[in-house]
Amino acid sequence: MEQILDKSDYITDKSQLVEYFFRSLKNKSDFKVGVEFEKVGVNATDYRAIGYTGNNGALEFLKRLKAMDNYDETRENRHVLGLIGPAGHITLEPGSQFEYSTRPFKHLKDIEQAYLKTNERTGQIAEELGVIWVGTGIQPLSTYETIQLLPKERYNIMWNYLPTKGKFGRIMMKETAGTQTSIDFESEEDAMRKLRVALEISPVITAMFANSPIRAGRLSGYKSCRAFGWLHTDNDRCGLISKKVFDKNFTFADYVEVMLDVPMMFLQKDRHLINATGMTFRQYLQNGFKNYRATIDDWFLHMTTYFPEIRLKNFLEIRNCDSQRVDLSMAFPAFIKGIMYNDEALEQAEEIIKGLTWEELNILRNEVPKYGLDMRFKKYGLAEIAAELISIAEYSLKSRTEEYDETIYLAKIKELVSEGNTPADIVIKNWESSWNRDISKFIEYSRLF
């Protein structure tokens, strides 16, 4: 899933931006799945978020991980901010949330093995440093006011810009953690169909994988506090892209047109970022900025600042799942592979959400962070719809000729949904009963190693 065009080229025509997507088409036989696993780190003594610096901070963690395995460093202004290895990349989010991005694999078993190996390595170092990695969608105790901001230029600009667009942008930056799954497409029609279906079922995905009910040491009132934070981050660059997506004649060119009108954040020139807030990419393309003209490199950077539920790059990235405990870590990529890599499954998923209007979709998106599966769509309960989608994904995975039975990854989420529960519901129940609102019990339940 590498970028293909020469990133130094000046943009002379919008067709260059559209062509990028056409150059990203894959044969069905070459389809793969990539996953980004994020997690939050807390001190083992007081359960507060680890910082970037310090004896047990993320920087020390990266140094020890590099010494343990065959990684190369990534740096910015002499700061070590990530690692690159043969099975994937490790990066740090603004609040030193740890992100492991696998390279794309054809088989889920390979993703699982890479994830578990990395999880074991990071767990060993965590024990040495007095850190606990937690599988939850938001920091359980520390809030953004007390969490150190990663020394990265783009995060400094975002830190000042996002509060002008929404009241929870800084919460999203420093506190939240999710799981993202990336998939391939074979044609423009295939990409747009997958984009549309993924957006239509995105509220159901958010609901069934809701796993961030505890924030600031107490119940937040939301089953996915992470998803609630995204609702109030920046409506210019978050959400469901455009109503036009659902007209069924949406194209790569239409996606480019949407992206052109997204406000910019920054440009990277001479190895440094320049604040470019206050104009859209279309304005930059037409008028330039200072002495700079728009390049393909600028466009690719701009694409990384667009945060819809589903993002189109040289692959499709499904982004709206909370970070999970180990027993559910592979459920989301398995669900996405089952639905998206089978034409019959896609058709069945389309039929389930048939008749869903743009207005209804936005209502669902706004309400599922609070209610999870405890909602109704038309005459059906959301839990019923989720159960049916899981069954479709399960049947799809069974029909594939894989060396391993990939339906095993759906077993736990299937069990939860059949009972009308999300991961958050189990946490809430225990929090109010056997855990007696003890944050240490939640940390132990959610720890990843």
pLDDT in tens, 33-75: 999 999 999 999 999 999 999 999 999 999 999 999 889 999 9
**Position 429 pLDDT exceeds 90:** yes
Tell me how many domains the chain contains.
Answer: 1
Digit-coded pLDDT (tens) for 139-181: 999 999 999 999 999 999 999 999 999 999 999 999 999 999 9
Q: Tell whether the model's pLDDT for residue 3 goes beyond 50.
A: no
Mean pLDDT value of segment 70-87? 93
As a whole number, mean pLDDT of residues 294-307 equals 97
More confident residue, 220 or 7: 220
Residue 68 in domain = yes
Residue 297 has pLDDT above 80, yes or no: yes
Instruction: Confirm if 420 and 223 have CB atoms less than 8 A apart.
Output: no
What sign has the CA pseudo-torsion 350, 353, 354, 359?
negative
Residue 385, pLDDT above cutoff 90: yes
Examine residue 271 and state whether it is found in any structural domain, yes or no: no
Residue 377 has a pLDDT of 81
- Mean pLDDT for 300-320 is 97
The closest of 86, 65, 84 to 74, measured between CA atoms, is 84
Residue 181 maps to a domain: yes
pLDDT at 5 over 50: no
pTM of the model: 0.96
The pLDDT of residue 8 is 57
In a domain, 282, yes or no: no
Residue 31 has pLDDT above 80, yes or no: yes
In a domain, 188, yes or no: yes
61 occurs within a structural domain = yes
**Phi, psi (degrees; rounded to nearest 5) at 406:** -80, -5
pLDDT at 378: 78
Instruction: Average the pLDDT over each of 206-215, 339-348, 401-410 and give the range with the smallest value.
Output: 401-410
- Which pLDDT value is given to residue 2? 38
**Per-residue model confidence (pLDDT) at position 248:** 83
> Residue 56 sits in a domain of what CATH number?
3.30.590.20
Domain housing 131 = 27-242+307-446
Distance, in Å, from the CA atom of 112 to the CA atom of 108, rounded to the nearest integer, reads 6
**pLDDT at residue number 1:** 40
Work out the average pLDDT over 338-344.
97
In a domain, 249, yes or no: no
Domain contains 19: no
